[in-house]
Chains A and B, each alone.
Chain A
Amino acid sequence: MSTAAVTDKRPSTLRAASLPRWTPWAIAAGSLVLGIGISMGAGLDSQIQWGLIAAVLFVLGTFGIAARVEGRRQAKDRVATSLVWVAFLLAVVPLVSLIWVTAVRGVKVLDLYFLTHSMGVVADTEPGGGIYHAIIGSLEQVGLATLIGAPIGVLTAIYLVEYGRGRLAKAVTFFVDVMTGIPSIVAGLFILSLMLIFKMQPFGFAGSLALTILMMPVVVRSTEEMLKLVPNELREASLALGVPKWRTILKVVLPTSIGGITTGVMLAVARIAGETAPVLLLVFGNPFINNNPFEGAQASLPLYIYQQFANSAGSGAAFDRAWAASLTLIAFVMILNLVARGIARWKAPKTGR
């Protein structure tokens, strides 16, 4: 009886009307035209509004057309798909336009001279000068921060995943969580207060310390996740061979997850490479080349960008330099990302014959 009731509700055939494959594109094009039309008619001149109207039309149109032709279930399915696409575009459009604008404005003064000279005595309002001193400062500060932060972060994560039991592990996890939420300016102030106690002048390494504070929780979190992905069976297989735990971690667990760990560290590096606030407080900025991170004020790329914008006083030269430095910074972060991906792919557990 009950089976009869169920089959009654099903269509008698497995075939169903379906829209051709190009339908989503057609609906998208249609809603774009319609969106622009409506906006022009209503006198809206913001392109963002046009796009949003088109997006709403696209989702509604998809549902309407699919519901009419294919039925409600397929319509819901299509709406979900189109929502995903709209969300994807909403995320990508600002990103692409940001990179585009930076690239267009940045290439104006970005050349070899710009990369290999410092500002020196060039006034902020004059053309000329470069970012060599800022690149050196960034590399040294971020490099030192990574040198300290990455090992501590990775070791902390190893402790938490492989050894951590009970109160201490809970406490460490809690503090890592708290540290994740520390605003960069607060980390800067913390180091600044120490500097004031010891009556020190701004120097690069102080910035590194603040960056380390910001970097460590990110490294811990991502490394933890990667270590948790390593199947327990591998650890047990190694232990059952009579391999001590520390060697198991070193030779089995870490090699299996090294790709992911590197990616995590690189992302953390990318994050601190763009920090301005603590650098402003602790490293101060310096138009001259200072190769020594342990003494004297230094520059850094994000700080340079900020100062050029702030001091441009309407001058085009400083503006252009700020954009060019931004482009350099983005390129730096992108290269880091590519390197991380390369390492991840290279180190990924091998499959195939």
Chain B
Amino acid sequence: MAKRIDVSGLTAFYGSHKAIEDISMTVEPGSVTAFIGPSGCGKSTFLRTLNRMHEVTPGGRVEGKVLLDDEDLYGTGVDPVSVRREVGMVFQRPNPFPTMSIFDNVAAGLRLNGNYKKSELNDIVEKSLKGANLWNEVKDRLNKPGSGLSGGQQQRLCIARAIAVEPKVLLMDEPCSALDPISTLAIEDLIGELKERFTIVIVTHNMQQAARVSDRTAFFNLAAVGQPGRLIEIDDTERIFSNPSVQATEDYISGRFG
């Protein structure tokens, strides 16, 4: 089910500005990989190149290869829409569709993509909401607008929406940065459960979170302001947090940065 991601020599631009340069890494199927690094070093940019969302930004351009199990996402003839069905995404700020009910929000990806029977949708919506640990809180008000939920609930709704289309990979860009510790914990637990079914990549500014949820951690940095961001190292989370091989990583993790 889950798929491997294999990135080689990836460089991304915003117009003429080179945001990240020459990034190569492998993400094993069914693992959780955390991206850490200072603000502006290109974590979000890199994450968005993994499901071809980068090119949605005006001027966004990518060079290099991203292999999803052996298929190059940037190969000729690859449809970005099918890529995004395989590689789902959860954003930093919860963004449920304001015109849709909770049910419709979760069903949105399916409804907008094909024909499903009402009973099929019911099943999938229930399964996804349960998968996102939200079912008990919303099962009595599935027809109420999604924007009436709390921030943490909205974020879990967005996760339910993303997993409802059954992607192979789930990308999360700082999914807990707007949430309280309890919602954060709920989402971290969720990540632990979801990794059996999906390959998960998560961007976070929270070192403890990276240490708690991830199997592997990648540290990004940029040489100077205006320079493109680079991958400094990627290793098992335990090693990164105990004994990283690069000095800059250790400085960053222990807070001796800059």
A residues at B contact (CB < 8 Å): 165, 231, 233-244, 247-248, 251-252, 255-256, 347, 349-353
Question: Does B84 make an interface contact (CB < 8 A)?
Answer: yes
- Cβ 8 A contact of A238, one of B82, B93, B108: B108
Contacts of A251 in B (CB 8 A): 108, 111-112
Q: Is residue B5 within 8 Å, beta carbon to beta carbon, of the partner chain? A: no
Among B86, B93, B112, B147, the residue within 8 A (CB) of A243 is B112
- Stretch of B50-58, B197-205, B230-238, B241-249 on the interface side: B50-58
Chain B contacts to A: CB under 8 angstroms? 51, 53, 56, 58, 81-86, 88-89, 91, 93, 95, 97-99, 108-109, 111-113, 141, 144-145, 147-148, 158, 161-162, 165, 167
Which B residues are CB-close (under 8 A) to A351?
98, 145, 147-148
In the bound complex, residues from chain B placing their C-beta under 8 Å from that of A235 are 56
Give complex CA distance A241, B53 in Å. 11
Instruction: Known A234-B97, A237-B91, A237-B97; judge A243-B109 contact (CB<8 A).
Output: yes
Contact A353 B148, CB 8 Å, known A237-B91, A237-B97:
yes
**Could you tell me the distance between the alpha carbons of A349 and B84 in the complex, rounded to whole angstroms?**
26
The answer to whether A352 touches B148, judged by C-beta atoms less than 8 angstroms apart, is yes
Can you name 6 extra interface pairs (CB under 8 A) apart from A231-B95, A349-B147, A352-B145? A234-B98, A240-B84, A240-B162, A242-B165, A349-B99, A349-B145
Report the minimal beta-carbon distance from B129 to chain A, rounded to whole angstroms: 16
Closest B residue, CB atoms, query A256: B99
A233 to B148, CA, bound (A): 18
By a CB distance below 8 angstroms, the chain B residues around A231 are 95
**Does A241 lie within 8 Å of B88, measured CB to CB?**
yes
Q: Are A236's CB and B91's CB within 8 A?
A: yes
Given the known interface contacts A236-B91, A241-B109, A242-B109, the answer about A350 and B99 at a Cβ–Cβ threshold of 8 Å is yes
Partner of A236, one of B53, B82, B88: B53
18 intermolecular pairs with C-beta atoms under 8 Å apart: A231-B95, A238-B97, A238-B112, A240-B53, A240-B89, A240-B91, A241-B161, A242-B82, A242-B83, A242-B84, A242-B85, A243-B112, A251-B111, A251-B112, A256-B99, A351-B145, A351-B148, A352-B145
